[in-house]
Structure 1
Amino acid sequence: SCDISHNRLSQPPSSLFSLTGLASLKLSHNALTLSGVTWPALSSLTRLTLLSMDHNQLEGPLPSHISALPSLKVLNLSHNQITELPHEITQITGLELLDVSDNALSGCLPAFMGGATALVELAADGNRLAALPGEL
């Protein structure tokens, strides 16, 4: 477990990516940006079950590299400015909780979210969503 929340990090320390046995990574309340996160390096953390990146400065579409975390069960991306979820997020077959509340998602959540079969909780409040897909 690694908790480096409540700092001023603009990117995760590169030494973090060598901790391949890491199960929980909390990077909340920092100054992380989508371009500051080395997404391919993050995918080396294949045993990660919890990733918390809420309350950062993640702005724009979430990169598809997030799908390279096969063991992920909890993903908290709330309180950012994420505008789009990648289709590949459904490749995280064990994902049980996805929190994308208070972001910049608009329109309708993508229909492919219905393919996230293990999903028990989806928090998407505080966005600009007009509808939910019937598959949910």
Structure 2
Amino acid sequence: MEKARMVDISEKKDVIRVAKAEGFVRLKKSTVEAIREGNVPKGDVLTIANVAGILAVKKTPEIIPMCHPIPITSVSIEFEILDEGVKAVCTVKSVGKTGVEMEALTGVTAALLTVWDMVKALEKDETGNYPHTAIEYIRVLEKFKG
């Protein structure tokens, strides 16, 4: 069995790299309304989720062992509040030797986890569980190198 190792990217040229990932957190309609109206006890859900996603992008190589630490030149996270929950799209840019899709996936995932954390008191049922809450459809929408 071969040991785990990082891929050697020494010979690759620095180029612009962009990746976009999306995901969705399914929530109760009453929770969605609380987000829309700014009535969530923990505060501004999407502002905090945005900051969490950006921080997660920058920390990706610390939590995914074989990811290279790379210079991140831009991160944006956009949210869409839908009747069934919140959709997030994370776009990451870099100039470097390797892609940024893992950073985009990490950013969108952390943003959605933060939405869940911010609204979990509203999502719990009488037993303290989350029968309606789910993070879904996390995927890379596109990546670009050039």
- The answer to whether the superposition gives a TM-score over 0.5 is no
Tell me which protein shows more strand as a share of its residues.
2
Tell me which protein shows more helix as a share of its residues.
2
TM-score (norm 2): 0.21
Q: Which has the higher contact order (CA 8 A, sep 6+)?
A: 2
